[in-house]
């Protein structure tokens, strides 16, 4: 039976862990991507896929001069699918990219800045109505492309909470997101860096076993 940290200490505890991770690993400079559109496309292509494969697909889009809304809007879905082939699930992902591109083209005049001007929870609601955009993808877009303060929850986040006895990973997505956002300052930079550090921790430590002796947070573990 796991036991979790007392909630009255949670705010300081999370900040301490964040500072420890930042000091150990340094800034992660997320999201890798030159433009808002590139971040949005990367968020869709990386669904259950390693980032390495996504990078190849993004490079391929650039080689085809297709890294812009109008080109992607006009392109056949089948053509788009072949260009992003290396990212896997390329048929369904070509549909998903088309879906969000169509919304940006038709509702926001191909102008992603207009999305930035919408209230954070309203733009989240709109993104979640798009077939192929779930909570993690929507929140990644909002945080990393639209530069708005929202906490992204993924499988690494849940393992992190479990490994450090902070909160039950059995809670649903929105509940875990609220846990972070209630216990941290509402700061875009903090949410950006924290999520990236949690992913870095998960990808480089504690892969198979929950606790390895190389983990910089070991002194924080029970």
Partner DNA sequence: CACCAGGCAAGTA
Partner DNA sequence: TACTTGCATGGT
Give the footprint of DNA on this chain (CB under 7 A). Answer: 30-32, 42-43, 46-53, 56, 85-86, 88-93, 130-138, 140, 144, 154-156, 199, 203
Q: Are 22 and 29 in contact (CB under 8 A)?
A: no
Nearer to DNA, 48 or 213 (CB): 48
Nearer to DNA, 140 or 183 (CB): 140
- CB hemisphere CA count around 218 (13 angstroms): 9
Distance in Å, CB of 158 to DNA, minimum? 10
Distance in Å, CB of 137 to DNA, minimum? 3
Q: Which helix (H) or strand (E) holds 80?
A: helix 77-83
Nearest Cα neighbor of 152 from 196, 186, 87 is 196
Nearer to DNA, 43 or 146 (CB): 43
Nearer to DNA, 13 or 89 (CB): 89
Give me the DSSP letters along 109-158: TT-HHHHHTS-HHHHHHHHHTSTT--HHHHHHIIIIIS--------HHHH
For residue 175, how many other CB atoms are within 10 A of its CB? 12
Q: How many helices (H) and strands (E) does the chain have?
A: 12, 0
Distance in Å, CB of 81 to DNA, minimum? 7
Question: Using CA atoms, how far apart are residues 53 and 84, in angstroms rounded to an integer?
Answer: 9
Nearer to DNA, 66 or 80 (CB): 80
Nearest Cα neighbor of 58 from 33, 31, 23 is 33
Distance in Å, CB of 3 to DNA, minimum? 22
Distance in Å, CB of 92 to DNA, minimum? 4
Nearer to DNA, 131 or 218 (CB): 131
Instruction: List Cβ neighbours of 6 (8 Å cut-off, separation of 6 or more).
Output: none
Distance in Å, CB of 6 to DNA, minimum? 26
């Amino acid at each position: 039976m796991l036991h979790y940290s007392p909630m009255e200490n949670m705010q300081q505890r999370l900040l301490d862990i964040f500072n420890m991770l930042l000091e150990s690993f340094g800034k992660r400079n997320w999201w890798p991507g030159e433009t808002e559109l590139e971040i949005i496309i990367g968020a869709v292509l990386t669904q259950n896929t390693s980032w390495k494969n996504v990078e190849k697909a993004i490079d391929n889009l650039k080689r085809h001069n297709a890294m812009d809304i109008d080109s992607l809007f006009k392109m056949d879905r089948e053509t788009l699918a072949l260009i992003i082939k290396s990212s896997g699930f390329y048929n369904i992902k070509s549909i998903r990219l088309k879906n969000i591109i169509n919304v940006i083209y038709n509702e926001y005049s191909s102008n992603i800045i207009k999305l930035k001007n919408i209230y954070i929870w309203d733009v989240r609601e709109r993104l979640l109505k798009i077939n192929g955009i779930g909570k993690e993808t929507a929140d990644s877009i909002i945080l990393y492309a639209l530069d708005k303060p929202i906490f992204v929850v993924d499988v690494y986040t849940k393992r992190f909470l479990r490994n450090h006895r902070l909160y039950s990973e059995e809670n649903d997505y929105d509940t875990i997101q609220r846990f972070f956002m209630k216990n941290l300052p509402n700061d875009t930079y903090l949410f950006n860096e924290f999520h990236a550090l949690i992913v870095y921790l998960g990808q480089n430590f504690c892969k198979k076993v929950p606790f390895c002796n190389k983990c910089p947070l070991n002194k924080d573990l029970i």
